Structure 1
Amino acid sequence: GVLVREAAARRACRRAAAATLQKYTRGMLCRRLYGKMRRARRADACATLVQTLVRGFICRALFGDKLRIRQFEAGVVPNVVTIQKFFRRCLAQKRHKFMVKQWANAKLIQGIWRVYHSKFLVELKRNQQEKFVRHQAAKKIQALMRLWLLRQHLREKKMQRHSDILFAARKINTSWRSYKKRLATVETTHRLATERRRLAIRTLARARETLAEKLRVNRDQVDSEKASLEWTARRMRELRIFDREAARSIPKIVLKTELLGEMDVREGWKTALQNESQKITNQRSMAWEELRCCRVHVARVKKNIHRLQREQEELFARMDAGDAKIHEISVRARRAELRRAADARDAARSRKIRAEVVRWKVTGGDGSR
C-alpha cells in the first residue's frame, strides 16, 4: 500500500510538472505573438498618423484655402490608400514570416516535448511494472511473514495455554497437598494434644499415687510416733509413780534403820537396809535420767509429729492441686472434643450446601439440564 501511494504521488508530481511546462511554453509563445501583433498595430497607427500629418502639412503648404485642400485631398486619397496597402502588405508578410517561424519553433518544442514525454511514459510504465512486480513480491513476502508470525503467535498462545494449564494443575495440586497436609497436621495436632493430655493425666495420676503412698507412709509414721509418744507417756507415768513410791519408801527404810537393834545390826539388817536405800536411790536417779530422756524423746516425737502433720497437709494440698489439674485437663479435652465435633459437623454441612448449590446450578433444581 505504501509503494502504491508513493508511485501515485510521483505520477501526480510528473503530470503537474508536464502541465506546468506546457502552460509556460504556450504562454511564452502567446506573449511573443501578441507582442509582435501589438508592435505591428502600433507601427500601423504611427504610419497612419505620419501620413495624415504629412498630408495635412503638404496641403497647408501648397494650398492655403479649404477648397484647395479639399480638392487636393480628393486628388491624393488614392495615393494614400496605395501607400497604406503597401505598408499593410509588408506588415502582413512580416507577420506571416514571424508566425511561420514561431509555429516552427512551437512544433520543434512540441516534438521535443512529445519525445521526452513518450520516453517519460515508457520509463514510467516500466517503473510501474517493476514497482508492481516489487509490490506483488512484497505482498507475498508480507503474507508469508504474517503467516509465520501468526504461527509463532499461535504457538506462543498454545504454549502459554499449556503453561497456564500446568500452572493451574500445579496450583490445584499444591492446594490439595496443602489441604491434606493441614488435615494431617490438624489430626496430628489433635492426636498429639490428646496424647499430651493423656500423658499429663497419667503423670498426674502417678504423682497422685506417689503422694498417696507418701501420705500412707506419713500416716504410718505419725501413728508410730503417736504410739511411741503414748508408750513414752506411760513410761513417764510409771517412772513418776516409781519415784513417788521410792520417795515414800526411803524414809521408811531410814526409820527402820533407826529402829534396828544391835542384834539386827550384827545380823546385817542395817547393811541390807542401807543397800536397799542405796539401790532405791540409784534406781530413783536412773528413773530421773530416764524421765529426762523421755521428756526429750516426747519433745522430739511431738516435733516429728508436727513436721509429719505439715508434710501431710502439703501432701493433701498437692493432691488437691493434682486433682484440680486433672479436672482442668479433662474439661479442656472434653471442650476440644466438642469443638472438633462441631467443626466436623459444620464442615459436613458446608460440603452438603456446596454440593446442593452446584446441583442447582447444573440441573436448575428440578433435575432438568
Structure 2
Amino acid sequence: MDLRDLLGTELPIIQAPMAGAQNHLLAAAVCEAGGLGSIPAGMLDAPALEAELSAIEGLTERPYNVNFFCHQTPTADPAHIAAWHQMLAPLFAEFGIDPGTIPSGPTRQPFDAAMATVLERHRPALVSFHFGLPTPELLQRVRATGAKIASSATTLEEGLWLQEHGVDAVIAQGLEAGGHRGIFLGEELTTQLGTFALLPQLVAALDVPVIAAGGIADAQGVAAAQVLGAAGVQLGTAYLLCPESRTNALHRAALKSPRARHTALTTLFTGRPARGIVNRIMRELGPLPADVPDFPLAGNAIGALRAKTEALDLDHCTPLWAGQNVSGCRETPAAELTRELASGWRD
C-alpha cells in the first residue's frame, strides 16, 4: 500500500507541517496539486485551529493532514530559567532587553481535548503527531473521526513502538530533516540515523506503510526513497521559498545564500533538538549548550531576542529551520513543485 491508497491522494507527496513558516494557503495549494498539504497546529490554540481548518476547507475539498505535538508541558524551574537568562545576558545587554519583562509559560501546546473537539468537527484525512502519540483516550477520539494516524520515528525502536500503539503509517524522519526531531523514546542524539539508513530498516521491520522524510529535495530523491520501500515522501525545506509559504524575509535570504549549506541541530530556540541554518546565537553559545530550559520554555527569552534583532533586520536570534539539503528550495509555486517532485515516483 502506498500513500495514495491510504489517504486517497493523487500523488504520494506530503508537504511537511512547518509551524511559523506556513498556513492553510501552502497546504491548500499542495492539496489542489494532488499531494497532501499539512496544517501545523503546534503553535495554535483550539480557536486558531478551527479558523485554519475552516480556511483550508474553503480552498480545497481534497484530503489534508493536521499535525500536533505530543510533549508533556514542564513546570518552569525558576533557578533553571535564571541560569538560562544568565547565559543570554550579553545578548540581552546588547539589544536592550530587560529579562524581568520576559513572559513565562509554554510557547507551544500539546494535543489536548479541545483540539480533539475541533478535529471531530472537521474530520481531516490524516492526523500526524510529533514526539510520540497522545494518551490512548485522545488517540481514540481521533481514530473515531475516521482519520488515519501517523507519527514520526527517528529510530527503529520508535517505529516498532508506534506500530504497537496502532498507527496507520510511520514517518521515517532522517537526521537530515529540518525543524524539530521527532525523537521521543530517549534524548541520545547518537541514536539518530540518516533517512536512507533508517528507511529500509523500518520498511523491513514494520507491517504499516513507511513515509520517508529528511534530505529529499527533488524527483531523484523521491525515486530513491521509493526504491528503498517508502510508501510516500514527506518534504518541508523544498517548500520554504514557495510564494504560498509564510517564510519571512530574513529566513528567505538565508535559504538563498551559501549559509544554508551549514545547518546544525540545536536546542537553543525551544529546548528540543531541531535543525536550522547556523546563525550568530548558535555560533556564540554553541548549538547544544547546557542549561537550556525544557521544551518549550526556552522560547520566551528567544522570542524577546528575536523581536529585537529582527526589527534591526538581523537574523542573529531567529530560528532558520532548514534541512541539510536546500538544493530543491526554489521560488516555485507549490503546485508546480509538488508535481515536479512526484515525477520521480514510478508506478
TM-score by length of 1: 0.11
Greater RCO (CA < 8 Å, at least 6 residues apart)? 2
Query: 1 or 2, which has the higher helix percentage?
Result: 1
Which of the pair has more CA radius of gyration?
1
TM-score by length of 2: 0.12
